[in-house]
Chains A and B, each alone.
Chain A
Amino acid sequence: MIITDVLCPFCGDLCDDIIVEVEGNKIIEVKEACETGVSKMMGHERIASPMIREDGKLRKTTYEEAIDKTAEILTNSLRPLMYGWGSTTCEADEKGIELAEELGAIIDNTTSVCHAPSILALQNVGLPSCTLGQIKNRADLIIYWGSNQAEAHPRHMSKYTSFPKGFFTQEGRKGKHVMVFDVRKTTTAEVADDFVQILPGEDYRVLSALRAILAGAVDVVPSSVGGVPKEKLVEIVNRMKNSKFGVLFFGMGLTQSKGKPYNVANAISLVRDLNAHTKFAVMPMRGHYNVTGITQVCTWLTGFAFAVDFARGRPWYNPGETSTVDVLNRGECDSALIVASDPAAHFPRKSVEHLAKIPLIQIDPYPNLTTELADVVLPAAIAGIEVEGTAYRMDGVPLRLRKLIEPTHLSDEEILSRILGKVREIRGD
């Protein structure tokens, strides 16, 4: 059976034109997706069955026993932490937030370690943005700042930015100018028209210099800023002003470098300033396919996008205090539930040390480093392949994930509802 218009559940591009061939209950071919997408959709080793750790070793068990154990751990803890959520459906995310509220837990998502600085920045200065469709049809100047999307979002340029021919961009690649700002010449930089190499940690200065030039204060800018000659900076500003529709995409190069939220606020402010001269938009390059979704769901349900603490019986948000890495660094939580994420692999080692000390529950389709630390492991069906649901593309457009084959495991949503039921039962609610 051939299934068309399939969404790829890997990165924030959420490509919606994938063609999948299914035979029996197996995906045998994936077309149109990039290498990373194909690799995810063709499948990897899975966690076979629920497991509980005993005497240091994981032993197989039933969903029922693993869910009972999970509910017991969570209800017995004073400060449970629930983390992950970027690679599952919005429906599962909603259930997770309900469970966090019931438990008085901290619920945080992977935004915390990637675009938390962007959320902080946009709370201060807003976010003049648009959809990827508008960019495809209108943008003639495309800027990637600290974002190597040739490797992180392999089809971004071919589907939405540099290459496609849109309504007002009929010439395709020829009619567009692509600029990359980075500390090293990435694969993205290699296919750009302009590569602007900046010194590590100097993004804020370079952005300030561009804003000063744009404001007409050319004289105050020194001969070189952050490794970029002044003449080049003036040339860039002219190009920005003379574009018909510009867009600045930014990634971890801005959010995880010295200055973090201040870098992003400065980049957004540059775009805001540019709108006095032409049309310009800005967009964070979101990594996991539904990390935008969890920030949406979390915001409409709790008022905040990440790092929400329900300990007071109402949502409390204070990044730096209620964000996962900080909670772990302080050794504060006494249990953790990890859903669709691998913090053991992606957090600094110092932060992982506390995770290893506390009762840890994992819900995930795949064995990973977090499994090595987990006390209870609940295997899940793969959202977007075995389960349908809602996901938000990086530009905030909600799309429907499809079910391609029958699942062999429970969905995240089902597992979370059962845990919630059990927690309520234990607490006599």
Chain B
Amino acid sequence: MKKIDVKLTSGRSIEQGIHIDNKMSSGYCDVAAVCELNEVDMSKLGIRDGANVMIKSKFGQVVVRVRTNNRNPPGIAFVPMGPWANAIMDPSTGGCGTPQFKGIEVEITLTFDSISPIKELVGFR
């Protein structure tokens, strides 16, 4: 299976903001369970918009939908802030309270698994 090693950054997107008080909706999943990659990285993986990818870091793994965004330089993946991004974030704060939500090293591969359901992401009950 083809894979790429990239740095992951997370952050606000306007669509994510619109759905922020409505997180249990499918609309939220549509806008937050997303990974944006440059077309260079898309072709390295040999995939197109709408495919599902598995993102793995030292801290966990998650399945989201992929789409091209050439405003991202090659080598950087963007996932909107939220439970999908957080499934793979480094929880350590380095003594300041704030975890490192940007610049996490991840491995991305194509997957035929479905998008990680939101409840499963915190489903410890």
Contact = CB atoms under 8 A, between A and B. Distances in A.
Interface of A: 10-11, 35-36, 39-40, 44-45, 56, 108, 112-117, 120, 148, 150-152, 154, 183-187, 189-190, 197, 200-201, 252-253, 255-258, 260-261, 287, 306-307, 319-320, 323-326, 329, 342, 344-353, 356-357, 365-369, 372-373
A256 B101 contact: yes
B125 interface: yes
B83 to A, nearest CB: 5
Contacts of A352: 86, 122, 124
A44 to B, nearest CB: 4
Interface residues of B, number: 49
B87 A349 contact: yes
11 contacts: A115-B98, A116-B96, A154-B14, A257-B100, A258-B103, A319-B95, A320-B93, A325-B98, A329-B91, A369-B23, A373-B122
Given A256-B102, A369-B122, A325 B23 contact: no
Nearest to A53: B125
Contacts of A257: 100, 102-103
Closest 3 CB pairs of A and B: A323-B97, A320-B95, A356-B124
Interface string B1-30: 000000101011110011101111100000
A113 B98 contact: yes
Interface of B is mostly: loop
A36 B17 contact: yes
A345 B95 CA distance: 22
Interface string B83-118: 100111111111111111111000000000000001
A45 B87 CA distance: 25
Given A113-B97, A325-B98, A329-B92, 14 more contacts: A45-B25, A113-B98, A151-B13, A184-B71, A252-B102, A253-B102, A307-B97, A323-B97, A325-B97, A350-B60, A352-B122, A357-B124, A366-B21, A372-B122
Nearest to B94: A260
A200 B7 contact: yes
Nearest to B100: A256
B97 A306 contact: yes
Interface in B47-63: 59-60
B22 A324 contact: no
Of B14, B22, B82, B93, most A-chain CB atoms within 10 Å: B93
A255 B122 contact: no
A352 B19 CA distance: 21
A35 B103 contact: no
A36 B18 contact: yes
A184 B78 CA distance: 9
Contact of B86 (A200, A346, A367): A346
Contacts of A117: 96, 98
Given A36-B17, A255-B98, A346 B81 contact: yes
Contacts of A112: 97-98
